[in-house]
A = this chain, B = another copy of it.
Amino acid sequence: METAAFVKQLFEQTSFLDQPESLYEPIEYTMRLSGKRLRPQLLINAAVMFGGTPEAVAPAAVAIETFHNFTLLHDDLMDKAPLRRGNPTVHCKWNPNVAILSGDAMLVLAWKHLLQLQSDNLHDILTTFNDTAIGVMEGQQYDMDFESRHDVSIPEYIEMIRLKTAVLLAGALKIGALCANAPAEDIERIYRFGNHIGIAFQLQDDLLDAYGDTATLGKKTGQDILDNKKTFLPLKALELASPAQAEALRKIFTTECTLSDDEKIARVLDLYNQLDIRRYTQDEIDNQFSIADEALESINLPAEKKATLKQLAQGLLGRQK
A interface residues, Cβ below 8 angstroms from B: 19-20, 22-23, 74, 77-78, 97, 100-101, 103-105, 107-109, 111-112, 115, 122-123, 126-127, 130, 133-134, 137-138, 140-142, 144-145
Asked if A20 and B112 sit within 8 Å, CB to CB, the answer is: no
- Please determine whether A104 and B141 come into contact, CB atoms closer than 8 angstroms: no
The one of B20, B78, B145 that contacts A100, using a Cβ cutoff of 8 Å: B78
B111–A126 CB distance below 8 A: yes
| A74 contacts B104, C-beta separation under 8 Å | yes
A141: min CB distance to chain B, Å: 4
Contact partner of A22 (CB less than 8 A), chosen from B22, B23, B103, B141, is B141
6 contacts between A and B (CB under 8 A): A20-B142, A22-B145, A103-B104, A104-B104, A108-B134, A115-B126
> Shortest distance in angstroms between A139's beta carbon and chain B's nearest beta carbon?
9
Is A101 touching B141 in the complex (CB atoms < 8 A)? yes
In-complex Cβ contact of A130 among B23, B115, B133, B137 (8 A): B115
In the assembled complex, the CB of A303 is this many whole angstroms from the nearest CB of chain B, namely 36
Shortest A17–chain B CB gap in Å is: 13
Q: Is the pair B97, A78 in contact by a Cβ cutoff of 8 Å?
A: yes
Query: Are A145 and B101 also in contact (CB < 8 A) when A109-B134, A123-B122 are?
Result: no
> Per a CB cutoff under 8 Å, which of B20, B78, B122, B137 touches A141?
B20
**Complex CA distance for A105 and B137, rounded to whole angstroms:** 7
Query: A-side binding surface: helix, strand, loop or mixed?
Result: helix
Q: For residue A137, which residues in chain B have a CB less than 8 angstroms away from its CB? A: 23, 101, 104-105, 108
A137 to B101, CA, bound (A): 7
CB closest chain-B residue, reference A67: B108
What's the nearest-Cβ distance from chain B to residue A22, in Å?
Answer: 5
Extra contacts, 13 of them, besides A101-B141, A105-B137 (Cβ < 8 A), are A20-B141, A22-B144, A22-B145, A23-B138, A78-B100, A101-B137, A101-B140, A104-B104, A107-B107, A111-B130, A115-B123, A115-B130, A122-B123
> Which 4 interchain pairs have the tightest Cβ spacing?
A23-B141, A78-B97, A108-B133, A105-B137
Chain B residues closer than 8 Å to A142, beta-carbon distance: 20
Bound state CA distance, A122 and B103, in angstroms? 25
Q: How far is the CB of A26 from chain B (nearest CB, A)?
A: 10
Cβ-neighbour of A74 out of B100, B108, B115 (below 8 A): B100
Name the residue on B nearest A135 (C-beta): B108
| A127-B140 contact given A97-B78, A108-B133, CB 8 Å threshold | no
Question: In the assembly, what is the distance between CA of A126 and CA of B129, in Å?
Answer: 14
Cβ–Cβ < 8 Å partners of A140 in chain B: 101
Q: Are A130 and B107 in contact (CB under 8 A)?
A: no
Please give, as numbers and ranges, the residues of chain B lying within 8 Å of A138 by CB-CB distance: 19-20, 23, 105
Bound together, the chains give a CA A100 to CA B19 distance in angstroms of 24
Q: In the complex, which of the residues A19, A22, A108 has the most CB atoms of chain B within 10 Å of its own CB atom?
A: A108
| B145 A127 Cβ-Cβ under 8 A | no
- CA–CA, A97 and B123, complex, Å: 31
Chain B nearest Cβ from A219, distance in angstroms: 25
Residue of B nearest to A142 (CB): B20
